[in-house]
Structure 1
Amino acid sequence: MALTASIYGGGPFYPGENSALPTIKKSDFTTVVCWALHVRPNGDLAYNDTLIVTSGSYVGDHSWGQQLAEVKEGGSVNRILFSIGGWETNDFYHIMTLLNTQGDGPTSILYRNFQALLEAIPAIDGIDYDDEGNYNINTITRLSRMLATIGYKQITFCPYTNSAFWINCLVLLEKTNPGLVTGFNLQCYAGGAGNIGYVKQGWIDPLQKAMGSNFDAAGFIDPGLWCKHGDNCTQGMDPKQIKSQFTKWKKDKIQGGFIWLYDDIEKCGNDPQAYANAILSGLK
Protein backbone atom coordinates (compact mmCIF):
# COMPACT_ATOMS: atom_id res chain seq x y z
CA MET A 1 0.00 0.00 0.00
CA ALA A 2 1.32 3.44 -0.90
CA LEU A 3 2.06 5.83 1.94
CA THR A 4 -0.37 8.72 2.29
CA ALA A 5 -0.24 12.25 3.70
CA SER A 6 -3.39 14.31 4.26
CA ILE A 7 -3.84 18.01 5.01
CA TYR A 8 -6.84 19.68 6.61
CA GLY A 9 -7.49 23.26 5.58
CA GLY A 10 -10.21 25.87 5.92
CA GLY A 11 -10.59 29.19 4.14
CA PRO A 12 -7.46 28.81 1.96
CA PHE A 13 -9.11 25.82 0.25
CA TYR A 14 -12.05 27.95 -0.95
CA PRO A 15 -11.80 29.95 -4.20
CA GLY A 16 -10.56 33.52 -4.06
CA GLU A 17 -7.48 35.57 -4.81
CA ASN A 18 -5.71 34.02 -1.81
CA SER A 19 -6.72 30.42 -2.59
CA ALA A 20 -4.06 27.87 -1.67
CA LEU A 21 -5.37 25.21 -4.07
CA PRO A 22 -2.65 25.76 -6.71
CA THR A 23 0.00 25.48 -3.98
CA ILE A 24 -1.43 22.36 -2.39
CA LYS A 25 -1.65 20.59 -5.74
CA LYS A 26 2.15 20.34 -5.89
CA SER A 27 2.78 19.93 -2.17
CA ASP A 28 3.29 16.13 -1.99
CA PHE A 29 0.14 15.79 0.12
CA THR A 30 -2.02 12.99 -1.29
CA THR A 31 -5.36 13.94 0.34
CA VAL A 32 -6.95 17.36 0.76
CA VAL A 33 -9.60 17.68 3.49
CA CYS A 34 -11.76 20.79 3.17
CA TRP A 35 -12.74 21.82 6.68
CA ALA A 36 -15.33 22.47 7.83
CA LEU A 37 -18.71 21.76 6.38
CA HIS A 38 -21.47 22.81 8.77
CA VAL A 39 -25.07 21.57 8.73
CA ARG A 40 -27.47 24.21 9.95
CA PRO A 41 -30.74 23.38 11.74
CA ASN A 42 -32.73 23.77 8.49
CA GLY A 43 -30.31 21.53 6.56
CA ASP A 44 -28.40 24.32 4.82
CA LEU A 45 -24.72 23.50 4.22
CA ALA A 46 -22.11 26.14 4.98
CA TYR A 47 -18.36 26.01 4.40
CA ASN A 48 -17.20 27.67 7.58
CA ASP A 49 -19.33 30.85 7.49
CA THR A 50 -20.13 30.77 3.76
CA LEU A 51 -23.50 29.35 2.72
CA ILE A 52 -22.90 26.92 -0.16
CA VAL A 53 -26.06 24.77 -0.40
CA THR A 54 -29.65 25.70 0.43
CA SER A 55 -33.04 24.21 -0.50
CA GLY A 56 -31.42 21.57 -2.71
CA SER A 57 -29.34 24.07 -4.72
CA TYR A 58 -25.64 24.85 -4.71
CA VAL A 59 -25.09 28.58 -4.12
CA GLY A 60 -21.37 28.63 -3.36
CA ASP A 61 -18.57 29.75 -5.65
CA HIS A 62 -19.29 28.05 -8.96
CA SER A 63 -15.61 27.77 -9.84
CA TRP A 64 -14.88 25.55 -6.83
CA GLY A 65 -15.82 22.31 -8.57
CA GLN A 66 -13.44 22.92 -11.45
CA GLN A 67 -10.67 24.15 -9.17
CA LEU A 68 -10.86 21.04 -6.98
CA ALA A 69 -10.94 18.82 -10.08
CA GLU A 70 -7.75 20.52 -11.28
CA VAL A 71 -6.07 19.89 -7.91
CA LYS A 72 -6.31 16.16 -8.68
CA GLU A 73 -4.80 16.54 -12.17
CA GLY A 74 -1.06 16.18 -12.57
CA GLY A 75 -0.07 16.84 -8.95
CA SER A 76 0.32 14.81 -5.79
CA VAL A 77 -3.32 14.97 -4.64
CA ASN A 78 -5.52 11.99 -5.55
CA ARG A 79 -8.33 12.34 -3.00
CA ILE A 80 -10.55 15.16 -1.74
CA LEU A 81 -12.72 14.94 1.37
CA PHE A 82 -15.10 17.41 2.97
CA SER A 83 -15.11 17.30 6.77
CA ILE A 84 -18.25 17.86 8.84
CA GLY A 85 -18.10 19.21 12.38
CA GLY A 86 -15.37 20.17 14.80
CA TRP A 87 -15.03 21.08 18.44
CA GLU A 88 -18.11 22.77 19.97
CA THR A 89 -20.20 22.56 16.81
CA ASN A 90 -23.76 21.29 16.65
CA ASP A 91 -23.66 19.77 13.17
CA PHE A 92 -24.27 16.17 14.19
CA TYR A 93 -27.10 17.18 16.52
CA HIS A 94 -28.72 19.00 13.59
CA ILE A 95 -28.18 15.96 11.35
CA MET A 96 -29.73 13.68 13.98
CA THR A 97 -32.83 15.89 14.28
CA LEU A 98 -33.25 16.16 10.50
CA LEU A 99 -32.90 12.39 10.04
CA ASN A 100 -35.44 11.77 12.80
CA THR A 101 -37.96 14.27 11.40
CA GLN A 102 -37.50 13.97 7.62
CA GLY A 103 -35.76 10.63 7.15
CA ASP A 104 -32.94 9.95 4.72
CA GLY A 105 -34.82 9.52 1.46
CA PRO A 106 -34.56 11.57 -1.75
CA THR A 107 -37.17 14.10 -0.60
CA SER A 108 -35.40 14.94 2.68
CA ILE A 109 -33.45 18.18 2.83
CA LEU A 110 -30.25 16.41 3.91
CA TYR A 111 -30.38 14.11 0.89
CA ARG A 112 -31.17 16.95 -1.52
CA ASN A 113 -28.47 19.24 -0.18
CA PHE A 114 -25.69 16.63 -0.12
CA GLN A 115 -26.76 15.56 -3.60
CA ALA A 116 -26.54 19.17 -4.79
CA LEU A 117 -23.05 19.46 -3.27
CA LEU A 118 -21.77 16.38 -5.09
CA GLU A 119 -23.37 17.45 -8.37
CA ALA A 120 -21.66 20.85 -8.12
CA ILE A 121 -18.31 19.39 -6.98
CA PRO A 122 -17.98 15.85 -8.37
CA ALA A 123 -14.28 15.87 -7.41
CA ILE A 124 -15.33 15.14 -3.80
CA ASP A 125 -14.41 11.54 -3.02
CA GLY A 126 -15.92 11.36 0.43
CA ILE A 127 -17.03 12.91 3.69
CA ASP A 128 -15.02 13.03 6.91
CA TYR A 129 -16.80 13.02 10.29
CA ASP A 130 -15.38 15.22 13.05
CA ASP A 131 -18.13 14.50 15.59
CA GLU A 132 -16.86 15.57 19.00
CA GLY A 133 -20.06 15.63 21.01
CA ASN A 134 -23.17 13.84 19.75
CA TYR A 135 -21.89 10.24 19.44
CA ASN A 136 -25.17 8.78 18.22
CA ILE A 137 -24.54 5.53 16.37
CA ASN A 138 -27.84 5.66 14.48
CA THR A 139 -26.99 9.14 13.18
CA ILE A 140 -23.54 8.09 11.94
CA THR A 141 -24.76 4.91 10.24
CA ARG A 142 -27.88 6.45 8.65
CA LEU A 143 -25.95 9.46 7.37
CA SER A 144 -23.26 7.19 5.92
CA ARG A 145 -25.74 4.97 4.11
CA MET A 146 -27.54 8.01 2.73
CA LEU A 147 -24.29 9.52 1.45
CA ALA A 148 -23.36 6.21 -0.18
CA THR A 149 -26.75 6.10 -1.91
CA ILE A 150 -26.19 9.63 -3.23
CA GLY A 151 -22.84 8.61 -4.68
CA TYR A 152 -20.14 9.54 -2.17
CA LYS A 153 -17.50 6.82 -2.41
CA GLN A 154 -15.81 7.10 0.98
CA ILE A 155 -16.41 7.96 4.61
CA THR A 156 -13.61 8.66 7.06
CA PHE A 157 -13.87 9.15 10.81
CA CYS A 158 -11.83 11.85 12.58
CA PRO A 159 -11.91 10.86 16.26
CA TYR A 160 -9.91 12.11 19.19
CA THR A 161 -11.52 9.87 21.82
CA ASN A 162 -14.25 7.22 22.31
CA SER A 163 -12.62 4.45 20.28
CA ALA A 164 -15.35 1.95 21.16
CA PHE A 165 -18.03 4.18 19.63
CA TRP A 166 -16.17 4.68 16.34
CA ILE A 167 -15.23 1.02 16.06
CA ASN A 168 -18.87 0.03 16.63
CA CYS A 169 -19.95 2.41 13.85
CA LEU A 170 -17.43 0.78 11.52
CA VAL A 171 -18.54 -2.74 12.42
CA LEU A 172 -22.19 -1.90 11.67
CA LEU A 173 -21.38 -0.16 8.38
CA GLU A 174 -19.19 -3.03 7.24
CA LYS A 175 -22.25 -5.29 7.42
CA THR A 176 -24.36 -3.12 5.10
CA ASN A 177 -21.77 -1.09 3.15
CA PRO A 178 -18.47 -2.99 3.19
CA GLY A 179 -15.52 -0.81 2.26
CA LEU A 180 -17.40 2.48 2.55
CA VAL A 181 -15.44 3.61 5.61
CA THR A 182 -11.82 3.83 4.50
CA GLY A 183 -9.99 5.00 7.59
CA PHE A 184 -9.73 6.83 10.91
CA ASN A 185 -7.97 10.21 10.89
CA LEU A 186 -6.90 10.04 14.53
CA GLN A 187 -6.33 13.37 16.26
CA CYS A 188 -3.11 13.29 18.26
CA TYR A 189 -3.15 16.95 19.31
CA ALA A 190 -5.25 19.25 21.52
CA GLY A 191 -7.91 17.06 23.20
CA GLY A 192 -6.40 14.02 21.49
CA ALA A 193 -2.79 14.70 22.51
CA GLY A 194 -2.87 11.65 24.76
CA ASN A 195 -3.17 9.46 21.67
CA ILE A 196 0.44 10.13 20.63
CA GLY A 197 1.83 7.25 22.69
CA TYR A 198 -1.38 5.26 22.64
CA VAL A 199 -2.13 4.66 18.96
CA LYS A 200 -1.43 0.94 18.98
CA GLN A 201 -2.85 0.07 22.40
CA GLY A 202 -5.82 2.42 22.25
CA TRP A 203 -6.83 2.19 18.60
CA ILE A 204 -5.04 -0.37 16.43
CA ASP A 205 -5.35 -3.30 18.84
CA PRO A 206 -9.08 -2.89 19.65
CA LEU A 207 -9.84 -2.25 15.98
CA GLN A 208 -7.97 -5.43 15.02
CA LYS A 209 -9.88 -7.41 17.63
CA ALA A 210 -13.25 -6.11 16.41
CA MET A 211 -12.57 -6.59 12.69
CA GLY A 212 -10.69 -9.90 12.71
CA SER A 213 -7.29 -11.14 11.68
CA ASN A 214 -7.72 -10.46 7.94
CA PHE A 215 -8.24 -6.73 8.53
CA ASP A 216 -5.30 -4.29 8.29
CA ALA A 217 -6.01 -2.25 11.41
CA ALA A 218 -2.67 -0.42 11.37
CA GLY A 219 -3.22 0.62 7.77
CA PHE A 220 -6.63 1.97 8.75
CA ILE A 221 -5.35 4.46 11.34
CA ASP A 222 -3.81 7.72 10.12
CA PRO A 223 -2.57 9.76 13.11
CA GLY A 224 -2.58 13.54 12.82
CA LEU A 225 -0.34 16.20 14.34
CA TRP A 226 -0.66 19.98 14.64
CA CYS A 227 1.89 22.04 12.75
CA LYS A 228 3.49 25.17 14.21
CA HIS A 229 0.77 27.61 15.33
CA GLY A 230 -0.31 30.05 18.00
CA ASP A 231 1.25 33.31 19.19
CA ASN A 232 4.56 33.80 17.40
CA CYS A 233 4.14 30.23 16.08
CA THR A 234 5.67 28.82 19.26
CA GLN A 235 3.11 26.03 19.70
CA GLY A 236 2.83 22.79 17.74
CA MET A 237 5.44 20.85 15.82
CA ASP A 238 7.88 21.68 13.04
CA PRO A 239 8.54 19.23 10.17
CA LYS A 240 11.59 17.75 11.92
CA GLN A 241 9.56 16.92 15.03
CA ILE A 242 6.73 15.49 12.95
CA LYS A 243 9.12 13.29 10.98
CA SER A 244 10.56 12.00 14.25
CA GLN A 245 7.12 11.06 15.55
CA PHE A 246 6.09 9.29 12.35
CA THR A 247 9.39 7.39 12.40
CA LYS A 248 8.32 6.09 15.84
CA TRP A 249 4.88 5.16 14.50
CA LYS A 250 6.44 3.26 11.60
CA LYS A 251 7.12 0.31 13.92
CA ASP A 252 3.34 0.04 14.47
CA LYS A 253 2.93 -0.35 10.67
CA ILE A 254 1.17 2.98 10.27
CA GLN A 255 0.95 3.84 6.55
CA GLY A 256 -0.35 7.39 6.55
CA GLY A 257 -0.98 10.49 8.57
CA PHE A 258 -2.27 14.03 8.43
CA ILE A 259 -1.38 17.59 9.33
CA TRP A 260 -3.70 19.97 11.12
CA LEU A 261 -4.01 22.76 9.82
CA TYR A 262 -3.02 24.32 6.47
CA ASP A 263 -4.24 27.73 7.65
CA ASP A 264 -1.57 27.66 10.37
CA ILE A 265 1.18 26.60 7.97
CA GLU A 266 0.30 29.65 5.89
CA LYS A 267 0.04 32.04 8.86
CA CYS A 268 3.44 30.95 10.15
CA GLY A 269 5.04 31.29 6.71
CA ASN A 270 6.07 27.64 6.60
CA ASP A 271 6.38 25.23 3.67
CA PRO A 272 3.49 22.76 3.22
CA GLN A 273 5.72 20.45 1.20
CA ALA A 274 8.09 20.14 4.16
CA TYR A 275 5.20 18.96 6.31
CA ALA A 276 4.00 16.45 3.71
CA ASN A 277 7.50 15.07 3.38
CA ALA A 278 7.84 14.86 7.18
CA ILE A 279 5.01 12.29 7.20
CA LEU A 280 6.12 10.41 4.11
CA SER A 281 9.83 10.26 4.92
CA GLY A 282 9.11 9.34 8.53
CA LEU A 283 7.09 6.32 7.42
CA LYS A 284 9.27 5.36 4.45
Structure 2
Amino acid sequence: MGLTASIYGGGPFYPGPDSALPTISRSGFTTLVCWAIHVRPNGDLAYNDTLIISNGQYVGDPSWGEALEKVKEGGSINRILFSIGGWETNDFYHIMNLLNTQGDGPSSILYRNFETLRHVIPAIDGIDYDDEGNYNINTITRFSRMLATIGFEEITFCPYTNSPFWINCLQCLEESNPGLVTGFNLQCYAGGAYNIGRVKKDWIDPLQAAMGKSFDAAGFIDPGLWCKHGDGCTQGMDPKQIQSQFTKWKKDKITGGFIWLYDDFEKCGNDPEAYSNAILSGLS
Protein backbone atom coordinates (compact mmCIF):
# COMPACT_ATOMS: atom_id res chain seq x y z
CA MET A 1 0.00 0.00 0.00
CA GLY A 2 1.36 3.42 -0.95
CA LEU A 3 1.88 6.51 1.15
CA THR A 4 -1.16 8.68 1.80
CA ALA A 5 -1.75 12.36 2.53
CA SER A 6 -5.16 13.59 3.67
CA ILE A 7 -6.59 17.09 3.93
CA TYR A 8 -9.48 18.18 6.15
CA GLY A 9 -11.55 21.13 5.01
CA GLY A 10 -14.86 22.83 5.74
CA GLY A 11 -16.68 25.43 3.67
CA PRO A 12 -14.19 25.41 0.77
CA PHE A 13 -15.18 21.79 0.04
CA TYR A 14 -18.83 22.75 -0.58
CA PRO A 15 -19.98 23.86 -4.06
CA GLY A 16 -20.19 27.53 -4.94
CA PRO A 17 -18.27 30.20 -6.83
CA ASP A 18 -15.38 30.04 -4.35
CA SER A 19 -15.27 26.24 -4.00
CA ALA A 20 -11.80 24.76 -3.65
CA LEU A 21 -12.80 21.38 -5.07
CA PRO A 22 -11.23 21.96 -8.52
CA THR A 23 -8.00 23.10 -6.86
CA ILE A 24 -7.77 20.26 -4.35
CA SER A 25 -8.12 17.60 -7.04
CA ARG A 26 -4.69 18.63 -8.38
CA SER A 27 -3.04 19.26 -5.01
CA GLY A 28 -1.13 16.03 -4.44
CA PHE A 29 -3.33 15.02 -1.52
CA THR A 30 -4.74 11.50 -1.80
CA THR A 31 -7.71 11.76 0.60
CA LEU A 32 -10.20 14.61 0.97
CA VAL A 33 -12.10 14.85 4.26
CA CYS A 34 -15.21 17.07 4.28
CA TRP A 35 -15.53 18.46 7.80
CA ALA A 36 -17.99 18.47 9.34
CA ILE A 37 -21.38 16.83 9.23
CA HIS A 38 -23.48 17.75 12.27
CA VAL A 39 -26.36 15.58 13.44
CA ARG A 40 -29.10 17.71 14.94
CA PRO A 41 -31.38 16.44 17.74
CA ASN A 42 -34.14 15.55 15.26
CA GLY A 43 -31.70 13.70 12.98
CA ASP A 44 -31.31 16.44 10.37
CA LEU A 45 -27.84 16.55 8.81
CA ALA A 46 -26.02 19.84 8.33
CA TYR A 47 -22.68 20.52 6.70
CA ASN A 48 -21.33 23.04 9.18
CA ASP A 49 -24.21 25.56 9.28
CA THR A 50 -25.84 24.46 6.01
CA LEU A 51 -28.78 22.03 6.23
CA ILE A 52 -28.28 19.29 3.66
CA ILE A 53 -30.67 16.46 4.62
CA SER A 54 -34.00 16.66 6.44
CA ASN A 55 -36.57 13.91 6.95
CA GLY A 56 -34.88 11.68 4.41
CA GLN A 57 -34.73 14.35 1.72
CA TYR A 58 -31.59 15.99 0.35
CA VAL A 59 -31.92 19.78 0.48
CA GLY A 60 -28.29 20.77 -0.04
CA ASP A 61 -26.57 22.03 -3.17
CA PRO A 62 -27.66 19.65 -5.95
CA SER A 63 -24.27 19.84 -7.65
CA TRP A 64 -22.24 18.54 -4.70
CA GLY A 65 -22.39 14.87 -5.67
CA GLU A 66 -21.18 15.52 -9.20
CA ALA A 67 -18.52 17.95 -8.01
CA LEU A 68 -17.05 15.33 -5.67
CA GLU A 69 -17.13 12.72 -8.44
CA LYS A 70 -15.04 15.06 -10.60
CA VAL A 71 -12.52 15.51 -7.79
CA LYS A 72 -11.68 11.80 -8.12
CA GLU A 73 -11.34 11.88 -11.90
CA GLY A 74 -7.76 12.16 -13.10
CA GLY A 75 -6.36 14.02 -10.09
CA SER A 76 -4.49 12.94 -6.97
CA ILE A 77 -7.59 12.39 -4.77
CA ASN A 78 -8.68 8.74 -4.71
CA ARG A 79 -10.70 8.68 -1.48
CA ILE A 80 -13.34 10.96 0.06
CA LEU A 81 -14.48 10.86 3.68
CA PHE A 82 -17.20 12.85 5.45
CA SER A 83 -16.32 13.66 9.06
CA ILE A 84 -18.87 13.90 11.88
CA GLY A 85 -18.38 15.95 15.01
CA GLY A 86 -15.65 18.19 16.36
CA TRP A 87 -14.71 19.98 19.56
CA GLU A 88 -17.65 21.19 21.65
CA THR A 89 -20.27 19.64 19.39
CA ASN A 90 -23.11 17.37 20.50
CA ASP A 91 -23.36 15.20 17.40
CA PHE A 92 -22.54 11.89 19.04
CA TYR A 93 -24.87 12.62 21.94
CA HIS A 94 -27.63 13.22 19.39
CA ILE A 95 -26.71 10.01 17.56
CA MET A 96 -26.86 8.10 20.86
CA ASN A 97 -30.26 9.51 21.74
CA LEU A 98 -31.68 8.78 18.29
CA LEU A 99 -30.37 5.20 18.36
CA ASN A 100 -31.87 4.68 21.82
CA THR A 101 -35.29 6.08 20.87
CA GLN A 102 -35.71 5.01 17.23
CA GLY A 103 -33.24 2.17 16.77
CA ASP A 104 -30.96 1.64 13.80
CA GLY A 105 -33.35 0.06 11.30
CA PRO A 106 -34.51 1.37 7.91
CA SER A 107 -37.44 3.25 9.45
CA SER A 108 -35.26 5.30 11.83
CA ILE A 109 -34.41 8.87 10.88
CA LEU A 110 -30.67 8.25 11.24
CA TYR A 111 -30.81 5.35 8.82
CA ARG A 112 -32.97 7.23 6.31
CA ASN A 113 -30.87 10.39 6.38
CA PHE A 114 -27.54 8.62 6.02
CA GLU A 115 -29.01 6.37 3.34
CA THR A 116 -29.96 9.54 1.47
CA LEU A 117 -26.44 10.90 1.91
CA ARG A 118 -25.02 7.68 0.47
CA HIS A 119 -27.43 7.76 -2.47
CA VAL A 120 -27.05 11.44 -3.37
CA ILE A 121 -23.25 11.57 -2.97
CA PRO A 122 -21.95 8.13 -3.97
CA ALA A 123 -18.39 9.49 -4.19
CA ILE A 124 -18.18 9.21 -0.39
CA ASP A 125 -15.98 6.25 0.52
CA GLY A 126 -16.43 6.41 4.26
CA ILE A 127 -17.33 8.27 7.42
CA ASP A 128 -14.81 9.76 9.86
CA TYR A 129 -15.62 10.10 13.58
CA ASP A 130 -14.42 13.21 15.42
CA ASP A 131 -16.08 12.36 18.74
CA GLU A 132 -14.44 14.49 21.43
CA GLY A 133 -16.95 14.18 24.24
CA ASN A 134 -19.45 11.31 24.30
CA TYR A 135 -17.15 8.28 24.24
CA ASN A 136 -19.93 5.71 24.33
CA ILE A 137 -18.83 2.41 22.85
CA ASN A 138 -22.34 1.19 22.15
CA THR A 139 -23.05 4.34 20.15
CA ILE A 140 -19.87 4.03 18.08
CA THR A 141 -20.28 0.33 17.33
CA ARG A 142 -24.03 0.40 16.69
CA PHE A 143 -23.81 3.48 14.47
CA SER A 144 -20.91 1.93 12.54
CA ARG A 145 -22.82 -1.27 11.87
CA MET A 146 -25.77 0.78 10.65
CA LEU A 147 -23.54 2.71 8.25
CA ALA A 148 -22.06 -0.55 6.97
CA THR A 149 -25.56 -1.92 6.35
CA ILE A 150 -26.41 1.21 4.37
CA GLY A 151 -23.36 0.64 2.20
CA PHE A 152 -20.60 2.88 3.51
CA GLU A 153 -17.39 0.96 2.87
CA GLU A 154 -15.18 2.27 5.66
CA ILE A 155 -15.02 4.08 8.97
CA THR A 156 -12.09 6.06 10.33
CA PHE A 157 -11.61 7.40 13.84
CA CYS A 158 -10.18 10.90 14.43
CA PRO A 159 -9.08 10.88 18.08
CA TYR A 160 -6.91 13.26 20.03
CA THR A 161 -6.97 11.34 23.33
CA ASN A 162 -8.34 8.23 25.08
CA SER A 163 -6.54 5.56 23.07
CA PRO A 164 -7.98 2.67 25.18
CA PHE A 165 -11.52 3.69 24.20
CA TRP A 166 -10.79 3.88 20.48
CA ILE A 167 -8.84 0.64 20.46
CA ASN A 168 -11.73 -1.06 22.27
CA CYS A 169 -14.16 0.25 19.64
CA LEU A 170 -11.92 -1.14 16.90
CA GLN A 171 -11.73 -4.55 18.57
CA CYS A 172 -15.51 -4.76 18.90
CA LEU A 173 -16.08 -3.81 15.28
CA GLU A 174 -13.42 -6.23 14.08
CA GLU A 175 -15.46 -9.03 15.60
CA SER A 176 -18.68 -8.10 13.81
CA ASN A 177 -17.43 -6.15 10.76
CA PRO A 178 -13.79 -7.07 10.09
CA GLY A 179 -12.01 -4.49 7.97
CA LEU A 180 -14.71 -1.82 8.34
CA VAL A 181 -12.48 0.50 10.39
CA THR A 182 -9.50 1.40 8.22
CA GLY A 183 -7.46 3.78 10.34
CA PHE A 184 -7.01 6.38 13.07
CA ASN A 185 -6.52 9.98 11.95
CA LEU A 186 -4.65 11.06 15.07
CA GLN A 187 -4.80 14.73 16.01
CA CYS A 188 -1.34 16.01 16.92
CA TYR A 189 -2.33 19.66 17.27
CA ALA A 190 -4.44 21.85 19.60
CA GLY A 191 -5.66 19.58 22.44
CA GLY A 192 -3.77 16.66 20.92
CA ALA A 193 -0.44 18.48 20.46
CA TYR A 194 1.13 16.30 23.14
CA ASN A 195 0.72 13.32 20.78
CA ILE A 196 3.56 14.56 18.55
CA GLY A 197 6.20 12.87 20.67
CA ARG A 198 4.02 10.01 21.88
CA VAL A 199 2.53 8.46 18.73
CA LYS A 200 4.42 5.21 19.15
CA LYS A 201 4.15 4.91 22.94
CA ASP A 202 0.50 5.96 23.35
CA TRP A 203 -1.00 4.71 20.09
CA ILE A 204 1.06 2.33 17.97
CA ASP A 205 2.35 0.10 20.76
CA PRO A 206 -1.02 -0.31 22.59
CA LEU A 207 -2.78 -0.90 19.27
CA GLN A 208 -0.23 -3.54 18.30
CA ALA A 209 -0.60 -5.28 21.63
CA ALA A 210 -4.38 -5.33 21.37
CA MET A 211 -4.62 -6.48 17.75
CA GLY A 212 -1.78 -9.02 17.60
CA LYS A 213 1.53 -9.39 15.79
CA SER A 214 0.02 -9.75 12.31
CA PHE A 215 -1.70 -6.36 12.51
CA ASP A 216 0.07 -3.34 10.97
CA ALA A 217 -0.47 -0.90 13.83
CA ALA A 218 1.94 1.74 12.50
CA GLY A 219 0.25 1.68 9.10
CA PHE A 220 -3.10 2.18 10.85
CA ILE A 221 -2.13 5.49 12.48
CA ASP A 222 -2.09 8.65 10.35
CA PRO A 223 -0.91 11.61 12.46
CA GLY A 224 -2.20 15.09 11.62
CA LEU A 225 -0.60 18.52 11.97
CA TRP A 226 -1.99 22.06 11.73
CA CYS A 227 -0.76 24.24 8.89
CA LYS A 228 0.07 27.93 9.31
CA HIS A 229 -2.95 29.71 10.83
CA GLY A 230 -4.10 32.24 13.38
CA ASP A 231 -3.54 35.97 13.72
CA GLY A 232 -0.89 36.97 11.23
CA CYS A 233 -0.56 33.29 10.28
CA THR A 234 2.11 32.93 12.95
CA GLN A 235 0.76 29.76 14.53
CA GLY A 236 1.08 26.22 13.24
CA MET A 237 3.69 24.68 10.98
CA ASP A 238 5.06 25.48 7.54
CA PRO A 239 5.77 22.72 4.98
CA LYS A 240 9.45 22.47 5.98
CA GLN A 241 8.54 21.87 9.63
CA ILE A 242 5.87 19.34 8.68
CA GLN A 243 8.24 17.42 6.43
CA SER A 244 10.77 17.29 9.25
CA GLN A 245 8.20 15.85 11.65
CA PHE A 246 7.01 13.21 9.19
CA THR A 247 10.63 12.23 8.56
CA LYS A 248 10.85 11.47 12.28
CA TRP A 249 7.61 9.49 12.17
CA LYS A 250 8.91 7.47 9.24
CA LYS A 251 11.21 5.75 11.73
CA ASP A 252 8.08 4.47 13.50
CA LYS A 253 6.90 3.03 10.15
CA ILE A 254 4.08 5.55 9.74
CA THR A 255 2.78 5.49 6.14
CA GLY A 256 0.29 8.37 6.06
CA GLY A 257 -0.75 11.63 7.61
CA PHE A 258 -3.06 14.59 7.30
CA ILE A 259 -3.15 18.37 7.39
CA TRP A 260 -5.63 20.43 9.36
CA LEU A 261 -7.22 22.66 7.85
CA TYR A 262 -7.76 23.67 4.22
CA ASP A 263 -9.74 26.74 5.31
CA ASP A 264 -6.46 28.07 6.75
CA PHE A 265 -4.72 27.50 3.42
CA GLU A 266 -6.99 30.16 1.96
CA LYS A 267 -6.72 32.52 4.93
CA CYS A 268 -2.92 32.38 5.02
CA GLY A 269 -2.08 31.82 1.36
CA ASN A 270 -0.66 28.36 2.08
CA ASP A 271 0.26 26.26 -0.95
CA PRO A 272 -1.69 22.95 -0.92
CA GLU A 273 0.89 21.16 -3.05
CA ALA A 274 3.72 22.19 -0.73
CA TYR A 275 1.86 20.70 2.24
CA SER A 276 0.92 17.43 0.55
CA ASN A 277 4.50 17.08 -0.62
CA ALA A 278 5.72 17.73 2.92
CA ILE A 279 3.89 14.64 4.17
CA LEU A 280 4.77 12.38 1.26
CA SER A 281 8.41 13.46 1.06
CA GLY A 282 8.86 13.12 4.80
CA LEU A 283 7.60 9.55 4.70
CA SER A 284 9.43 8.56 1.49
TM-score (norm 1): 1.00
Pairing 1:84–2:54 present: no
CA shift, 1:188, in A, is 0.1
Q: How does 1:1-284 map to 2 (within 5 A)?
A: 1-284=1-284
Distance 2:259 2:66 in 1: 25
After superposition, what is the alpha-carbon deviation per residue over 1:153-189, rounded to whole angstroms, capped at 9, x for unaligned?
Answer: 0000000000000000000000000000000000000
Distance 2:58 2:173 in 1: 29
CA shift, 1:270, in A, is 1.2
CA shift, 1:83, in A, is 0.2
Distance 1:142 1:134 in 2: 14
Other structure's SS at 1:41 match? coil
Distance 2:72 2:214 in 1: 31
Q: For residue 150 of structure 1, what is the amino acid of its counterpart?
A: I
Q: For residue 248 of structure 1, what is the amino acid of its counterpart?
A: K
Other structure's SS at 1:38 match? strand
Q: For residue 144 of structure 2, what is the amino acid of its counterpart?
A: S
Q: Between Structure 1 and Structure 2, how many residues are aligned?
A: 284
Other structure's SS at 1:51 match? strand
After superposition, what is the alpha-carbon deviation per residue over 1:80-128, rounded to whole angstroms, capped at 9, x for unaligned?
Answer: 0000000000000000000000000000000000000110000000000
CA shift, 1:49, in A, is 0.2
CA shift, 1:266, in A, is 1.0
Q: Percent identity?
A: 83
Distance 1:205 1:266 in 2: 37
CA shift, 1:246, in A, is 0.1
Distance 1:196 1:65 in 2: 36
Distance 2:6 2:106 in 1: 32
Q: For residue 177 of structure 1, what is the amino acid of its counterpart?
A: N
Following TM superposition, the consecutive aligned residue runs of length 4 or more in structure 1 with deviations greater than 6 angstroms are none
Distance 1:173 1:44 in 2: 26
Gaps of 5+ in 2: none
Q: For residue 48 of structure 1, what is the amino acid of its counterpart?
A: N
Other structure's SS at 1:196 match? helix
Gaps of 5+ in 1: none
Other structure's SS at 1:132 match? coil
Q: How large is the Cα RMSD of the aligned pairs?
A: 0.3
Distance 2:230 2:107 in 1: 44
Distance 1:73 1:207 in 2: 35
After superposition, what is the alpha-carbon deviation per residue over 1:229-281, rounded to whole angstroms, capped at 9, x for unaligned?
Answer: 00000000000000000000000000000000000011101100100000000
TM-score (norm 2): 1.00
